[in-house]
Structure 1
Amino acid sequence: MKEKSFATLPVFLVDDEASVLHATAAILHSAGVAHVHMVDDSRELLSALEQQPASAILLDLFMPNVTGTKLLPDIVHLYPEIPVIVMTAAQDVETAVRSMKEGAFDYLVKPVEESRLVASVRHALEVHSLRRQMGVLKHYLLSDCLQNNDAFAGIITHSRKMRALFQYLEAVAVSAEPVLIGGETGAGKEMFAHALHKLSGLTGQFVQVNVAGLDDTLFSDTLFGHKKGAFTGADQSRAGLIAQAGGGTIFLDEIGDLSMASQVKLLRLLQEHMYFPLGSDVARPSDARVVCATNCNLAQRMRQNQFRSDLFFRLSVHQIEVPPLRQHKEDILLLLQHFLDEAAASINKPAPEPSNELITLLSNYHFPGNVRELRAMVFNAMALHRGGPVLAMDSFRQTIQKQQKSGADNSPTEPSDGLPVIIPGRFPTLEEVEEAMVREALKRAKGNQGVAATLLGLSRPALNRRLARRAMQPES
């Protein structure tokens, strides 16, 4: 049976007074704690925990039948991962010290201030989440296995680097904390967000919004909604996407482009699990899990005072970096065949075979647009394919040459045209540089002159003339 996600595990309230149970539950519900389980007979607690795991327990010490003093050490022994918050009317220091020694996570004296109660429960939930994640990570490190391969079915790969990310996602899926997904455009960040939602076990929707280009008002209206009459044209109230994602996941793409004013509102949502619709002064709770993605360097944006550091650290409790395609080139052939089958099916044609020459060419290409660019290449080639068992290469060559001429084939981490070239020792002549480049291109192309010409940005006849002039042969 699949383990329930952290976000669905309830907080147990154990007290023999019904008024205390209902008042405490109301406070937690208003603070965004959606799942609360009330136990008014202490004798039923341990059997209830066997049937339903808990994320935290609020325990009264003085109850009839079985006291909290007796239950506390049993809970700590049987369920060490569950934080137990003692909440009792006893104010003496001796009772508090004894409770903490026996494993209580916190000690609250009735009547408890709402802010103190909420802060203690939230802290307990965070600790419980971290404890579970450590257990899951330890399991994956020891077993090197995946529990739910189906969640990653849409990500075509046999790369060990990608598999390690899958294992990390399975581990953090049990957490309610935000996840920050980084990576270049086209690398597959959205697919990782979808996989995380499937793994989480959340029953709500996966709701996606690209926040790039949204000013603060549009951001607030899109996410938080508005009351009737909040602004001109607001003829009726509208729930925002946060409400739509209740019990599920809200995926905020291009988070690095969010305005500073909107960053403050997002930070409040993450810290308090509350938000204000436009035109309303009544806060509403949110239990949507927040997942964000960016292709920006947020650390650099922080240094430039374009991104709040407190928001960054709140967002990056769990953080993954999706590698660009050039860092898992072993997947190129697998992706090429997958996209060929997909493209052929979309136009009701049989899928041709890729030639060895095409595979060599793509294996030497940098793919600035990553997996998305490869897919576009394949679909374009299939649309132009006029039949035959082997896929034509012309469209691939043209796309790659166009990218090379435009200078788009540059990694963000590699030197740009404006940086100096460091050449130690004697400065080579242009003829020597040309010869070295041609030899390297032929080596990478495994002797295929057509592929080497494409890598060099030359036509096949132009390369042939250079080879004939120097009588150069491919290196073995």
Structure 2
Amino acid sequence: MATPNPAGSPALPVLVADDEEPIASGYRMALTRGGITRLICHTDSREALTTIQTQPLSLMLLDLNMPFVSGEKLLEAAAQHQPGVPAIVVTGKDTVESVVHCVRQGAYDYLVKPVTADRIVTTVRNALQVVELRRQNQQLREQLLAPHLKHPEFFADILTADTAMRSIFGYIEAVAPTSNPVLLTGETGVGKELVARAIHRASGRTGQFVAVNIAGLDDTMFSDTLFGHRRGAFTGAEGPRQGLIAQALHGTLFLDEIGDLPVVSQVKLLRLLQELEYTPLGQDRPTKTDARVIVATNADLARLQDAGRFRPDLYYRLSTHRIHIPPLRQRRGDLGLLAEHFMDAAARQLNRKKPTAPKELTALLATYNFPGNVRELESIVTDAVSRHTSHILSLKSFADYIGAMAGPPPAPGAAATAPVAENTTEPFGATLPPFKDVKRLLVEEAMRRADGNRTRAAQLLGASRQALSWYLQHPEA
């Protein structure tokens, strides 16, 4: 009969490995008193190695210096047989080289003997909480995606819980198997290349995903980069060069910043899309290709067409499948999820322990519009993690950045200004609305733009927060 899971004890056992019996017994007693009762204890490192290789575990508490099999060898085995399971190293060796080596081997934490019972229990509990949070996040992502997607794993690199983004994923699954080009539009930093890679994975193509930013390429550089050249095609061409389209055979070619492509180069791209062939420089006969083309831009292609800078026929060819990726300000529900992800990534890059996000962080981030989108959020979070010096991540760097980008608040009593369209000389028509209605509409719009943040809304209105709060409590006054 299965043993019921005690409160606070993990479903899978915790492995304790230390060659000194008194220390191993002390760990066992401390963890049991702390409510962690599912334990496997070994004083022989060879038995610990067998357990790591054969037994599912929730956590490993390993002595670094043991006879027969060292703690470092156990870490290597854990990385292979227990991926994602945290390993806590306990040792009497307190050197920077040892710490760095263990962290690189995947250790979750590094404790130096002697270690108090409270420290052991606290460290183990914190690690188990991390494991549980990861499990819950994975379960949540599967619940959000699985009901609508056949293969949610194609989109694992795109962190989102947004309904609009999930709808995009469903559309991608539908169109990815075709060979038609895809046009991705969206502001800078929304993750267009991540979406392009997801399309490639969902397509089932066996070739490579080849990406190139074509901004700044003149026609000669574009042709050479994409199509390649033969030896002697031009002065200095001492050998042949394979173009990116050849590298993308049976795969996907991703062209970023398509709005910057010169018109003369657009003709060559159009022929590639229509005829599925290209001609390397210095070659007489065209070469066939089956590469799928995905293009991306943050420009308004319709406006570029009107200005004569983008060919309409190329636009229509590229627009067979068009996907617009919404900016981050339209999916603020992703702010917390993305911030946690970037905190974890920054901590690993800096070889630091991940700080805890303050509960006010998401609310603070939601007051900002993020013109640089996800890329800007990543930069802000990385900078904050690199500065932090305590367990809780400080809000100061976030507040300073948002305040600097928003500019100084308007002077008390100053009217908020906004550009007025040329055809709005009489915006209200013949009859003016009542003053109380205008005031109500202004307050509602300010609160909408500030996502309910009264301080930010008051700044937009040029009023004090106290005055705005009083009005919201007495709207009929």
TM-score (norm 1): 0.60
Residue 406 of structure 2 is matched in structure 1 by: 404
Counterpart-to-counterpart distance in 2, 1:373 and 1:265: 35
Counterpart-to-counterpart distance in 2, 1:227 and 1:163: 45
When residues 416 and 299 of structure 1 are mapped into structure 2, their CA distance, relative to the original with a 3 A threshold, is: farther
SS at match of 1:319: strand
Residue 358 of structure 1 is matched in structure 2 by: 361
Residue 336 of structure 1 is matched in structure 2 by: 339
SS at match of 1:168: helix
SS at match of 1:271: helix
Residue 389 of structure 2 is matched in structure 1 by: 386
Matches within 5 A, 1:196-345: 196-345=199-348
With a CA cutoff of 8 Å and minimum separation of 6, indicate the structure with the bigger relative contact order.
1
Does the 8 Å CA contact 1:224/1:276 hold for their aligned counterparts?
yes
Aligned residues: 315
| CA deviation map 1:162-219 (0-9, x unaligned) | 0110011011111011111111110111000000111111111100011111000000
Counterpart-to-counterpart distance in 2, 1:443 and 1:263: 40
Matches within 5 A, 1:101-112: none
Spell out structure 1 runs of 4+ moving beyond 3 A: 415-429, 436-449, 455-458, 470-476
Does the 8 Å CA contact 2:446/2:461 hold for their aligned counterparts?
no
Counterpart-to-counterpart distance in 2, 1:443 and 1:252: 35
When residues 452 and 385 of structure 1 are mapped into structure 2, their CA distance, relative to the original with a 3 A threshold, is: farther
Does the 8 Å CA contact 1:447/1:474 hold for their aligned counterparts?
no
- Aligned partner letter, 2:180: E
Identity of aligned residues (%): 46
Residue 191 of structure 1 is matched in structure 2 by: 194
Segments of 5+ residues of structure 2 without an aligned counterpart are 1-145, 410-416
- Aligned partner letter, 1:338: H
When residues 259 and 418 of structure 1 are mapped into structure 2, their CA distance, relative to the original with a 3 A threshold, is: farther
When residues 439 and 305 of structure 1 are mapped into structure 2, their CA distance, relative to the original with a 3 A threshold, is: closer
- Aligned partner letter, 1:226: H
| CA deviation map 1:257-294 (0-9, x unaligned) | 10011000000111111111112221111111111111
Residue 109 of structure 2 is matched in structure 1 by: none
SS at match of 2:295: strand
- Aligned partner letter, 1:160: T
- Aligned partner letter, 2:272: L
TM-score (norm 2): 0.59
Segments of 5+ residues of structure 1 without an aligned counterpart are 1-142, 408-414
How far 1:406 sits from its partner (Å)?
A: 10
Residue 155 of structure 1 is matched in structure 2 by: 158
RMSD (CA atoms) = 3.4
Does the 8 Å CA contact 2:454/2:465 hold for their aligned counterparts?
no
Does the 8 Å CA contact 2:446/2:460 hold for their aligned counterparts?
no
Counterpart-to-counterpart distance in 2, 1:345 and 1:153: 19
- Aligned partner letter, 2:370: F
Does the 8 Å CA contact 1:441/1:456 hold for their aligned counterparts?
no
- Aligned partner letter, 1:405: G
